[in-house]
Amino acid sequence: TMALTRPQNCAKLGLGGIWGRARVPRYGSRALFLIRNQSTSSDKAKSTKNFKEKLRFFDRAFLRFRAGKGGDGHKSFISDRFGNKLADGERGGDGGNIVLRACKKIMNLRFDSYHIIGSNGENGGSNHKRGRKANDTTILVPVGTVAKTVERCLITKQRKIHQVLADLDEDGATFVAAQGGEGGLGNTSFRRGFRRRPDFRVDGHPGEQIEVFLELKSLAD
């Protein structure tokens, strides 16, 4: 039996096989310690930065809302007992709203994302099956938050704050900041008199898009 040779010796001798293709590291234990220590210090710096970011107090914020799109209407037909085709496509569900809700447990206007998109409504179906309405997206804000409209200049991109939309001064107070789009009509909605099989439908309407400025009432003007 032939004894196996260590990978370092095989690499030095130029032997083939799995052991021969192994590379020998050219840095010592001191270099490995420095590299490991440098990576550990960078990870600690990142974690410390994230922790300090979470502790920051935000008393104002700009949020962009886009409510959910309404579901599309459906076009389909069904035959009656006499063989006549009748429209049975139903309308789509409404898109979800974006709602601001005051909560006494929230003390900061810090959000994970400052661009909120609502849920879309379900499309209509055949056999008079109407699409379901999407759930509303609720944004929790501190008690005493004031919501104001924002107008952005297309040329200079500067924001201009306008009138007050809502004053959430009580726990549980809500305000619909962006309205969801209405669901599109199916071909059943266009069936009138002798027009029993209309061959068209309507797509769902897009949701409302708005930019809102939030500010704590205690620090507001």
- What does the pLDDT average to over 100-127? 91
- Whole-number pLDDT of residue 45: 56
- Whole-number pLDDT of residue 8: 47
Supply angle C-alpha 203, 204, 208, rounded to 5: 140
Mean pLDDT of the chain: 79
> How far apart (Å, rounded) are the C-alpha atoms in residues 135 and 132?
9
- Whole-number pLDDT of residue 15: 46
Residue 203 has pLDDT above 70, yes or no: yes
Q: Helix (H, G, I), strand (E, B), or coil: what is residue 116?
A: strand
Confidence of residue 59 (pLDDT cuts 50, 70, 90): confident
CB neighbourhood size of 3 (10 A): 4
Q: Where are the domains of the chain?
A: 1-56, 58-219
pTM of the full predicted structure? 0.68
- Whole-number pLDDT of residue 128: 87
Supply angle C-alpha 60, 62, 66, rounded to 5: 140
Higher pLDDT, 18 or 181: 181
Residue 114 has pLDDT above 80, yes or no: yes
Domain 58-219 CATH class label = mainly beta
- Whole-number pLDDT of residue 219: 46
pLDDT in tens, 84-98: 888 889 999 999 999
